[in-house]
C-alpha cells in the first residue's frame, strides 16, 4: 500500500472475532491475565505473543508501533514516553555491543546536545561532533574515533541543513558503526532513512506524526534483530508510552500525509515571501535553490517536499526586537514545539537551545536574531499577513 493508505489502515483491525472495532480502542489496563496461569508464564518467557504488563506491552501501543513501522518501512518499532526517551534508547542500543563512542552532527537540537555532553559523556562515552554535509571532515572523524554510534538529524534543528544520509551511512558502516537518524523534521513523507541503510530511526511523535499538539511521545524504528535488547532497555528504564497517548498519536497519524503535504506547500510560499522582505537578512529553507544542501535535498527528499520548517534571521535584531515581533503576532502561536496544525514560532536562543553556552550556539550558527517557524495548515495568505503586520512594527 502507498503511504497515504498505510497511515489510515496500518495497525488496526488485527484480531477478527464476533465483532471488530473499526479503530484500535484504548486498553487502559495496567495488567493482563489468562484463564490458565501457564499461558501467562509463556507470555512472560516470550514463548508466545501476548500481553502481561503495560510497561512491557499494551495492545493500543503495539498497534501504534505497527503503524509507524509500516510508514517507515522498518521491521519493528518501539513507542517511548517522549522523543528524547526514544533518542536516548537509540544511542544506548547502538553502543550496546560496540565502542562507547558517538560521532554526531554539528547542528543538533539543544536537548540532544545536552544528552551527549552532560549525560553520556560524564559516564565515559566519548563524543565528537563533525559536519555530515562535509563528507571528508565527517569521514575523517569517524575513521579516527571508530564510534559505536553515528548520530545525525535528517534535517537539522534549527538551521535546516539536510544531511547526505546515504553518504553518512556508507562512512559509518565502513568503520563498523550503527547509524541513528532523528527524522522528526523530515517525516516518512519526505524521507525513509531505513531505505538508505540507516539502522535506527527515531521520531518525536509529539510533532508531525501526531500533529495536534496534544501528545507527548516518541518512537524508535529498527530491525527485528534489535527487538529483544531494545525491549530489555526500555522495560528496565521505564520510558514507555501510555495507551491514551498511543491512541491519540495513532489517530493523528491517519491524517498525517494530508497535513504534511499542505504544510510543506505552505512553507514554500512563506519562505519565498520572507526571502523578499526587506527586514529579513537570511532565510534557511531546503527548497531554496541557494540553500547549501539544495542538491542533497533534491536528491534525497520526495519530489517538491522540503519540510514545513522555515528558519529566518531578522536584520539587525536582538532579543528586544525579536520579543517585540513575537508579541505582535496575532495568529501564529509563539510557543515551544513544532509540527502542529497551527503555525508556531520559536526563538531558539530562549527555548530549544537556551541551555547551550553562547559559544556552542555561535558554533552552530544560532544567532540572537534567529527565529524558527513551524508552518501550519492555515491559509498561506493568513500566515503571511500575520508575519507582515508583525514585521511592520
Q: Distance between CA atoms of 167 and 221, rounded to whole angstroms? A: 20
Among 234, 253, 272, which residue terminates a domain? 253
pLDDT 10s digits, 227-283:
999 999 999 999 999 999 999 999 999 999 999 999 999 999 999 999 999 999 999
Strand partners, 181: 152, 201
Q: Distance between CA atoms of 243 and 65, rounded to whole angstroms? A: 12
324 & 289 share domain: yes
> Which residues form the domain of 156?
3-253
296 & 212 share domain: no
60 & 82 share domain: yes
User: What integer pLDDT is reported at residue 219 of this predicted model?
Assistant: 98
Backbone angles phi, psi at 323, to 5 degrees: -60, -40
User: What integer pLDDT is reported at residue 14 of this predicted model?
Assistant: 64
The CA-atom distances, in angstroms, between 59 and each of 25, 30, 41, 139 are 9, 11, 18, 43
235 & 105 share domain: yes
The residues carrying an active-site annotation are 55, 109, 182, 207
**How many domains, in total, are found in the chain?**
2
Task: Calculate ∠ Cα 20-21-23, nearest 5°.
Answer: 140
Q: Distance between CA atoms of 58 and 54, rounded to whole angstroms? A: 5
CB < 8 Å & 24+ apart, contacts of 64-67: 64/11, 64/24, 64/219, 64/241, 64/246, 64/247, 64/249, 64/250, 64/253, 65/11, 65/219, 66/10, 66/11, 66/14, 67/6, 67/7, 67/10, 67/11, 67/12, 67/250, 67/253
The secondary element (H helix, E strand) that includes residue 152 is strand 149-153
Residues 221/68, Cβ–Cβ less than 8 Å = yes
Q: Is the pLDDT of residue 201 over 70?
A: yes
208 & 298 share domain: no
User: What integer pLDDT is reported at residue 296 of this predicted model?
Assistant: 98
User: What integer pLDDT is reported at residue 11 of this predicted model?
Assistant: 82
Torsion sign (Cα): 108, 110, 115, 117:
positive
The whole-number average pLDDT for the span 143-160 is: 97
209 & 261 share domain: no
User: What integer pLDDT is reported at residue 271 of this predicted model?
Assistant: 98
Mean confidence (pLDDT) of the chain: 94
pLDDT 10s digits, 59-106:
999 999 999 999 999 999 999 999 999 999 999 999 999 999 999 999
296 & 215 share domain: no
Per-residue confidence at 364, pLDDT binned at 50, 70, 90? Answer: confident
Residues 217/81, Cβ–Cβ less than 8 Å = yes
361 & 237 share domain: no
201 & 263 share domain: no
280 & 198 share domain: no
User: What integer pLDDT is reported at residue 249 of this predicted model?
Assistant: 98
The secondary element (H helix, E strand) that includes residue 228 is helix 227-237
- Residues 348-375: b if buried by 16+ CB within 10 A, e if exposed: bbeebbeebeeebbeebebbbbbbbbbb
User: What integer pLDDT is reported at residue 358 of this predicted model?
Assistant: 72
User: What integer pLDDT is reported at residue 21 of this predicted model?
Assistant: 82
Query: Measuring CA to CA, which residue among 89, 88, 83, 95 is closest to residue 119?
Result: 88
278 & 219 share domain: no
User: What integer pLDDT is reported at residue 195 of this predicted model?
Assistant: 97
Q: Is the pLDDT of residue 16 over 60?
A: no
Among 253, 274, 300, which residue terminates a domain? 253
Per-residue confidence at 352, pLDDT binned at 50, 70, 90? Answer: low
273 & 159 share domain: no
Identify the residue whose cell numbers are 491519540. Answer: 248
User: What integer pLDDT is reported at residue 9 of this predicted model?
Assistant: 86
Among 253, 270, 290, which residue terminates a domain? 253
Identify the residue whose cell numbers are 559509518. Answer: 172
Which cell is 11 given? 495497525
The CA-atom distances, in angstroms, between 195 and each of 66, 74, 112 are 17, 9, 24
CATH number at residue 365: 3.90.1150.10
CATH number at residue 22: 3.40.640.10
Least confident of 5-9, 14-18, 196-200, 329-333: 14-18
pLDDT 10s digits, 17-65:
666 788 899 999 999 989 999 999 999 998 999 999 999 999 999 999 9
Q: pTM of the entire structure?
A: 0.93
> What is the rounded (10 degree) CA torsion for 214, 340, 206, 27?
40
Amino acid at each position: 500500500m502507498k503511504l497515504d493508505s498505510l497511515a489510515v489502515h496500518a495497525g488496526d483491525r488485527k484480531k477478527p472475532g464476533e465483532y471488530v472495532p473499526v479503530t484500535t480502542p484504548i486498553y487502559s489496563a495496567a495488567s493482563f491475565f489468562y484463564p490458565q496461569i501457564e499461558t501467562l508464564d509463556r507470555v512472560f518467557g516470550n514463548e508466545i505473543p501476548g500481553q502481561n504488563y503495560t510497561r512491557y506491552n499494551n495492545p493500543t501501543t503495539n498497534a501504534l508501533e505497527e503503524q509507524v513501522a509500516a510508514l517507515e518501512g522498518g521491521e519493528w518499532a518501539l513507542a517511548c514516553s517522549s522523543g528524547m526517551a526514544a533518542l536516548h534508547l537509540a544511542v544506548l542500543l547502538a553502543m550496546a555491543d560496540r565502542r562507547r563512542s558517538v560521532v554526531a552532527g554539528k547542528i543538533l537540537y539543544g536537548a540532544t546536545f545536552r544528552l551527549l555532553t552532560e549525560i553520556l559523556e560524564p559516564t565515559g562515552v566519548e563524543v565528537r561532533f563533525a559536519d555530515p554535509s562535509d563528507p571528508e571532515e565527517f569521514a575523517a572523524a569517524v575513521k579516527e574515533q571508530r564510534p559505536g554510534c553515528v548520530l545525525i538529524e535528517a534535517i537539522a534543528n534549527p538551521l535546516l541543513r539536510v544531511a547526505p544520509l546515504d553518504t553518512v551511512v556508507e562512512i559509518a558502516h565502513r568503520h563498523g558503526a550503527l547509524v541513528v537518524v532523528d527524522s522528526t523534521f523530515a517525516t516518512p513523507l519526505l524521507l525513509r532513512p531505513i531505505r538508505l541503510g540507516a539502522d535506527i530511526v527515531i521520531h518525536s511523535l509529539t510533532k508531525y506524526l501526531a500533529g495536534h499538539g496534544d501528545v507527548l511521545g516518541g518512537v524508535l524504528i529498527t530491525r527485528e534483530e534489535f527487538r529483544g535488547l531494545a525491549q530489555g532497555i526500555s522495560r528496565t528504564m521505564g520510558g514507555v508510552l501510555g495507551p491514551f497517548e498511543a491512541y491519540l498519536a495513532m489517530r493523528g497519524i491517519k491524517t498525517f500525509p494530508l497535513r504534511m503535504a499542505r504544510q510543506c506547500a505552505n512553507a514554500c510560499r512563506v519562505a519565498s515571501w520572507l526571502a523578499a522582505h526587506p527586514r529579513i537578512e537570511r532565510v534557511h529553507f531546503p527548497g531554496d535553490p541557494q540553500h547549501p544542501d539544495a542538491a542533497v535535498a533534491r536528491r534525497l527528499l520526495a519530489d517538491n517536499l522540503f519540510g514545513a520548517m522555515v528558519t529566518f534571521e531578522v536584520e539587525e535584531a536582538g532579543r528586544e526586537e525579536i520579543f517585540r515581533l513575537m508579541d505582535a503576532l496575532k495568529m501564529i502561536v509563539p510557543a515551544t514545539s513544532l509540527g502542529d496544525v497551527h503555525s508556531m514560532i520559536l526563538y531558539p536562543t530562549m527555548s530549544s537551545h537556551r541551555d547551550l553556552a553562547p559559544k556552542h550556539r555561535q558554533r552552530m550558527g544560532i544567532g540572537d536574531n534567529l527565529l524558527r517557524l513551524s508552518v501550519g495548515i492555515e491559509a498561506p495568505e493568513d500566515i503571511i499577513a500575520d508575519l507582515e503586520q508583525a514585521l511592520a512594527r
